Amino acid sequence: MIAEIGQFSLILALVFSTLLATLPLIGSLRGIDNLLLLAKPAARALFLLTLISYVCLTLSFLNNDFSVAYVANTSNSYLPLIYKISGVWGGHEGSLLLWTLILATWTMAVSFFSKGIPEIMVARVLSVMGMIGFGFLLFTLLTSNPFDRLFPVPLEGRDLNPLLQDVGLAIHPPMLYIGYVGFSVAFAFSVAAMISGRFDAAWARWSRPWTNIAWLFLTIGIALGSWWAYYELGWGGWWFWDPVENASFMPWLIGTALIHSLAATEKRGVFKAWTVLLSVFAFSLSLLGTFLVRSGVLTSVHAFATDPARGLFILIFLTIVVGGSLTLFAWRAPKIVSRVHFNVVSREMAILLNNIFLGILCFAVLIGTLYPLVIDALGMGKISVGPPYFDFIFMVIGIPLTAMIGVGTLIRWKNDRIDRISTPVMVAVALSLGIGFSSPLLMGHYSLGAGVGIATGLFVIVLNLANLMARTSKGKRLRGLKSTPRSFYGMVVAHIGIGVFIIGVTMTNTYSVEKDIRMIPRDIHNINGYEFSFQGVTTVKGPNYQAIQGHFDVTKEEKKLTTLRPEKRTYLVQQNPMTEAAIDAGFTRDLYVALGEPLEEAKAWAVRVYFKPFIRWIWLGALIMALGGGLAASDKRYRRTRQSTNTSSSTIDSTPLSAS
Amino acid sequence: MNIGCQKPLLITIVLFFSVITSPFGHGQQEIFTFSTAKQETTYQALIKELRCLVCQNQNLADSNAGLAQDLRRKTYEMVIAGETRSQIAQYMVNRYGDFVLYRPQVNRSTFILWFSPFIFLVLLISLAFHFIRKTRKRSQSSDYSEEQLAHIKSLMQDKR
Amino acid sequence: MNRFSLPLGIFVTMVALLAVGLTLNPREIPSPFIGKPAPEFLLPALDENASQISNETFKGKVWVLNVWASWCVACRQEHPLLMDVANRKLVTIVGLNYKDKRSDALEWLQRHGDPYRHIPFDEAGNVAIDYGVYGVPETFVIDKAGIVRLKHIGPVTLEDLKNTILPLVSELERIES
């Protein structure tokens, strides 16, 4: 019964998305106000229906209703409660429903937080989002219905994949999807602007907070995935350049470029056509990611429920959405008038360079991901493109980009002089080169690459702090800091996050120690002054698994630090063994132990012992970046405009399309 | 098709981070000893750049499939026998094709892959500078001020 | 056409590529051996009493090299077909026994039948590495001059046999080496 309610509301949601996608848009084009005003109620109804459907699926999980095929495939009555809730998105069908729900949530959010925006614009934006919603609802109902029944009803479910029975992974997909799907708002604003043919600063200002919020969630989502891969996969890596990771990274790169070009468009009225194009790209890449992930055209460590029919559907959908918006762009963009008037030394130029570099990085990720496919499609054989390629490109292009971040934020809009900023830049160069190239001396061996990486990271941090100081004069510093807008803090904080991230990556990649060793109980192994003493193994029992647990006492300079207990788990339903690494996390280093296979009839064990310096800085950097995004999105400016324009511009701008 | 008869290579999961075999899988994690540190770095670098063919997308170092173990052992033997990194890579390519290399060889078919990002980067940067110089010249030759120009443009746009 | 249509053009090209990509199998790896001499090997026979086997033995013959193991589930699937080919004496099948235990392999053959003319015993899997084997079963067709003509990955099906392998074998048989 519950499943049927879920199914029914999903169909109703499809109906409402059809209404939303068509009526308000027609109303906006023909100047029919009544149709226009349907947008908001329809958006909210769409959200409510999708939510009901989602809740029904969750209830089916909680009730262990194995007559629902999806529940039988991804759950089990012994599954702990939290994983029953997160198990809803533990498979293709449910995660698609979550995706749709998040899209409906964004749509609803736009309907509520759009007070200062003319009704006609809101109607068009919501209509475009309704179209996307329609596509995904249709996709769910036609190819991946989570409410399909199973007969005969199995007594027990096949359980959630053990790898997904983890808190980090439980919250990773929602974060990632909020980010992915959030770019649909910026996309919808751009399409709406293209339909109306009006590109003013207001359009960019409306788009900005939405884009910032989407970006911050995507940042957190990617960071969570990386963190999870690190502790759960048992080989201590944090990024594998896997097609699926790349699929989430590409929208991030373009989204980052978009945030910057939106700033330039809003503040200076430049790069309008380019900004529109970027917002189309950011969302297109989210869709492309979905295609790559769910169609099976690429092999990935992250294995998916792949089905050519699904791949075909997404490809057609992608073609309509992206092809349609790019056609609109080709038609409308020539009419966009940008007020280009800036010097070579200007913030505009810095943002242009930022966009070029980020665009090229995204292009490299795209071409690296798709190249094997292209070579194959052309019948030229099979090749692999892996970490060595991506690392190389990001080193060569990413380091100059990072160095530019520091300088770019100091430069003023429109027209600036090099000599105005040369003093702080030179000081920062001296400082970061000095510290950067001497700090590897403190480590085990000297590495020039580490010097470059640390210096670059420091350069960004130092210059951004200097920038903050420069805004405030001596004596009135505290008042100056208080009056500094949040968006400025957001910029400084996010950039500092990048610096922290770069330092973390550099240190981890250069100075990690990874040892695969054989240990018998009472064996002691020394890594970088840390003594790992193996105490043997015991058997432990979890709620739905059994595990062999190793005990490792870690001491440094005769002082006991901690006991690490890595596990090898065997889950009762899906019998594959799982490695649970034990990690002693620290600000400057992680100690990481994973238990391998028993050797010589369990007298000895294969053990992986890692020393990972500064690895926390990688995720810390990402979190700082996300914090920056949040600060920028919460700037007073966006809220104030809403309130002030609320009273002034409630008239409906009903310019028909033909007249614009 | 049952490849290598290892544990399931294709567990169907949809999430963005999900992996097929547990790193320690079923085989044994062999413990190798090296006489020189250089040999160990060569070995470590190689097993990170060689692809485990039976896995979805894993290198030899991270995989515990039977084939990965065999190829690790082979790599180890060749390193100990004093063969160079490129010799061992070539040995693998001769047997498994270019697919086995995560670092694609630079040749005619991978030229675009390796060089296009840099070519486009240079191209776009010079375009950007060209664009600015052009518009600056145009605006300098104009008799109107920037504000006037913008005003005129917006008037023209409204007419259209 | 203007420069603003450029993104659309690039996108259309990409969609076309992705559409082609949908039809391909990313797990299929072409063998670099096709058209090249089969790697040489010298291995003991599975039967300890028999003499060593090398590929020189099959010079001047068209032969099929089938890589198998007793622990390989998919091998059982193609086994009746191989038995049929052997009973009808259509081609010489050589069974490379891959990473197996002698006793297990012999017992397996007893139970399911032995279609192989010769069985080289590759305990360590080194010869399999030389042949670029990455899955079991795999099947190679090698011509009279010792050149690899075909590589099939995974269990051989009746269609594979009828449509590709056997026609190729009889075509190769006709060519004088």
pLDDT digits (tens, 9 = 90+) for B94-145: 888 888 999 999 988 899 999 999 999 999 999 988 888 877 766 555 445 5
Confidence of residue B24 (pLDDT cuts 50, 70, 90): very low
Residue B26: pLDDT band (50, 70, 90) is very low
pLDDT of residue B153: 64
Stronger pLDDT, A401 or C47, i.e. the higher one? A401
Q: What sign has the CA pseudo-torsion C49, C55, C58, C63?
A: positive
Which stretch of DSSP H or E encloses residue A486?
A: helix A486-511
Answer with the residue of higher pLDDT: A600 or A456: A456
Are A380 and B12 in contact (CB < 8 Å)? no
pLDDT recorded at residue A234: 67
Instruction: Locate the domains of chain A by residue range.
Output: 1-165, 170-319+347-389, 390-512, 513-614
Please give the pLDDT value at position A659. 34
Is pLDDT at A179 greater than 50 in this prediction?
yes
Q: Is the pLDDT of residue A422 over 90?
A: no
Nearest-by-CA chain A residue for C7: A326
The answer to whether A258 touches A186, Cβ cutoff 8 Å, is yes
Nearest to A88 by CA among A58, A68, A67, A64: A58
What mean pLDDT is predicted for residues A382-386? 90
Q: Please tell me the predicted confidence (pLDDT) of residue B22.
A: 32
Give pTM, 2 decimals: 0.88
CATH number at residue C66: 3.40.30.10
Give the nearest chain A residue to B99 (CA atoms): A383
Q: CA A366, CA B113: separation in Å to the nearest integer?
A: 10
- Show the beta-strand stretches assigned E in C30-112: 42-43, 53-54, 63-68, 92-98
C130:B95 CB<8 A: yes
- The values of phi and psi at residue A347, to 5°, are -60, -35
* Strand partners for C45: C120
In a domain, C102, yes or no: yes
Q: For residue B5, give the nearest of C73, C128, C129 by CB distance.
A: C73
> Residue C143 falls within a domain, yes or no?
yes
CB A229 within 8 A of CB B17: yes
Cα C146 → chain centroid: 14
Does the pLDDT at position A103 exceed 90? yes
Sequence-distant (6+) residues with CB within 8 A of A141 are A10, A11, A14
Q: Chain C residue with minimal CA distance to A322? A: C11
Give the whole-angstrom CA distance, residue A101 versus residue A116: 26
The answer to whether the bond into A543 is cis (omega within 30° of 0) is no
pLDDT on residue A480 = 78
Return the pLDDT at A651. Answer: 35
Q: Are C31 and B97 in contact (CB under 8 A)?
A: yes
- Per-residue confidence (pLDDT) for residue A338, from 0 to 100: 67
Summarize pLDDT for A127-167 with one digit per residue, the tens: 999 999 999 999 999 988 999 998 888 988 888 888 788 88
Reported ipTM: the value is: 0.86
The residue of C2, C3, C8 whose CB has the most chain A CBs within 10 angstroms, and thus the best one to mutate to test that interface, is: C8
- Best of A194, A199, A298, A382 to disrupt the C interface (most C CBs within 10 Å) is A382
pLDDT score recorded for residue A165:
86
Quick one: average pLDDT of A221-228?
92
Q: What is the pLDDT of residue A649?
A: 35
Q: Compute CA distances A521 → A528, A540, B32, whole Å.
A: 21, 18, 20
Q: How far is the alpha carbon of B157 from chain A, nearest alpha carbon, in Å?
A: 8
State the average pLDDT over residues A37-46: 95
Compute the distance between CA of residue B51 and CA of residue A86 in angstroms, rounded to an integer: 33
pLDDT at residue number A310: 79
Residues ≥6 apart with Cβ < 8 Å to A445? none
Three-state DSSP string of A326-352? HHHHHHHHHHCCCCCCCCCCCHHHHHH
Amino acid at A306: T
**If you average pLDDT over residues A511-526, what whole number do you get?**
88
Pick B18's closest partner by Cβ from A303, A364, A594. Answer: A303
**Looking at residues C87-113, what average pLDDT do you find?**
90
Is C20 inside any structural domain? no
| Residue A297 confidence (pLDDT) | 66
What's the number of domains chain C is made of?
Answer: 1
- What does the alpha-carbon distance between residue A538 and residue A565 come to, in Å, rounded to a whole number? 10
Mean pLDDT of the region C49-73: 87
pLDDT tens profile B57-95: 788 888 777 788 889 989 999 999 999 999 999 999 988
Query: Which pLDDT value is given to residue A647?
Result: 35
What token pair was written down for A83? 């994983």
SS3 annotation, A423-463 = HHHHHHHHHHHHHHHHHHHHCCCCCHHHHHHHHHHHHHHHH
User: Rounded to whole angstroms, how far apart are CA atoms A408 and A423?
Assistant: 14
Contact list, A298 vs chain C (CB under 8 Å)? 21, 26
Token code pair at residue C157: 């099906």
Query: Is the Cβ–Cβ distance between A233 and A643 less than 8 Å?
Result: no
Q: State the amino acid at position B153 in one-letter form.
A: K
- The amino acid occupying position A513 is V
Task: Name the residue range of residue C124's domain.
Answer: 33-174
